């Protein structure tokens, strides 16, 4: 492939996003897909979209790709900040889009891999993250305390009836946030809702598997964490953990063990239980997006099917239906 043909092929390449619940095999598929596409001359590199794999030193507890896996396919946005730093969705959005643009400009197809649903969408979708204004928020909080939340909600109903119609009048925090965004941007809160509309040409592949199989994988992963020295990792990194990094599932359980509050078996049993609960929430989150092409993770033809989806996407076969996704999807207010 040469000259204009090569340029045209590069321009048709879709960014690939591999999503799904924890322990569903996203890392393995991402690497296998990158290698399979490379055999056809389609250079690919992986962009991490897992919130906690960006922290240095949090390896075992986040199931970070191994050195061998990273050697097989180059990974980006892994080990990019210290554990006492703070990663936010808005910050990740800028980093990921810069990375995607950089790779695409070199003729490299980015493959996003990660189970942090909002992070993956932030990189690819029409999502804006309005800032905050402490003075505006303080005044709204004062009014809520003095006048009651009902009056604030009535104000929201007047200023943005669409938002109010989908919100809980008793959720004071969300009402305050909605009014804060309206005050800061001069636009309705509903105008800032995440849209199921790509700003980057993309195709999403989702990994699904039966609940029993997923639970078994989670149990196996939890046991592997124990054997790989997760307790030592937490002991080592605990003094450096910032408030955001400390929210990664599993770290608090091991801290409780180190503090003598629970025994080790209880700690790992709780990690497994909460990971299974997280996986259910992740499936609910991803299930709202009608553009995801779901594949059975246990299908022996998984890789073959994934390659076929990418080729169809590059040919534009999904463009017309993806363009309509936002018109028939119900948005969930409060995500911004």
Residue 6 is predicted with a pLDDT of 39
* 57-87 pLDDT per residue, tens: 999 999 999 999 999 999 999 999 999 999 9
What string of H, E and C letters represents the secondary structure of 182-204?
A: HHHHCCCHHHHCCEEEECCCEEE
Residue 65 is predicted with a pLDDT of 96
| Low-confidence stretches of the chain (pLDDT beneath 70) | 1-11, 329-336
Closest CA to 26 of 195, 154, 206: 206
Residue 170 and residue 149 in contact, taking contact as beta carbons nearer than 8 Å:
yes
Q: In what order do the strands lie in the sheet with 75-76?
A: 75-76, 44-48, 109-113, 15-19, 202-208, 293-296
Residue 4 is predicted with a pLDDT of 41
Give the DSSP letter string of 113-171: E-S-HHHHHHHHEE-------HHHHHHHHHHHHHH-HHHHHHHHHHH-HHHHHTS-TT-
Angle at 182 between CA 86 and CA 176, to 5 degrees: 65
Residue 78 and residue 66 in contact, taking contact as beta carbons nearer than 8 Å:
no
Distance CA 107, CA 267 (A): 46
Distance CA 45, CA 230 (A): 28
pTM here is: 0.86
Residue 1 is predicted with a pLDDT of 43
């Amino acid at each position: 492939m040469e000259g204009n043909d090569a340029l045209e092929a590069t321009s048709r390449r879709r960014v690939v996003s591999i999503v799904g619940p924890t322990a569903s095999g996203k890392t393995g598929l991402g690497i296998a897909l990158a290698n399979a596409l490379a055999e056809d001359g389609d250079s690919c590199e992986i962009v991490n979209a897992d919130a906690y794999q960006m922290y240095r030193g949090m390896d075992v507890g986040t199931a970070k790709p191994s050195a061998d896996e990273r050697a097989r396919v180059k990974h980006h946005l892994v080990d990019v900040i210290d554990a006492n730093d703070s990663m936010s969705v808005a910050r990740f959005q800028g980093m990921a889009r810069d990375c995607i643009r950089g790779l695409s400009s070199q003729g490299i197809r980015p493959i996003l891999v990660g189970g942090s649903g909002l992070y993956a969408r932030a990189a690819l979708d029409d999502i804006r993250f309005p800032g905050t204004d402490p003075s505006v928020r303080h005044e709204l909080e004062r009014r809520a305390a003095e006048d009651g939340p009902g009056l604030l909600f009535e104000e929201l109903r007047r200023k943005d009836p669409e938002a109010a119609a989908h919100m809980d009048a008793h959720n004071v925090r969300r009402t305050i946030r909605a009014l804060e965004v309206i005050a800061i941007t001069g636009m309705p809160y509903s105008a800032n809702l995440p849209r199921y509309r790509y700003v980057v040409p993309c195709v999403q592949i989702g990994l699904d598997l039966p609940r029993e199989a997923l639970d078994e994988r989670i149990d196996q992963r939890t046991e592997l964490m124990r054997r790989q020295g997760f307790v030592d990792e937490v002991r080592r990194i605990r003094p450096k953990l910032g408030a955001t990094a400390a929210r990664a599932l599993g770290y608090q359980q091991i801290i409780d063990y180190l503090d003598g509050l629970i025994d080790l078996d209880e700690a790992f049993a709780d990690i497994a239980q909460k990971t299974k609960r997280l996986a259910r929430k992740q499936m609910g989150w991803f299930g709202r997006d009608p553009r995801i092409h779901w594949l059975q993770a246990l299908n022996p033809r998984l890789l073959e099917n994934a390659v076929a989806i990418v080729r169809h996407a590059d040919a534009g076969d999904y463009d017309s239906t993806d363009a309509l996704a936002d018109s028939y999807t119900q948005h969930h207010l409060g995500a911004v």
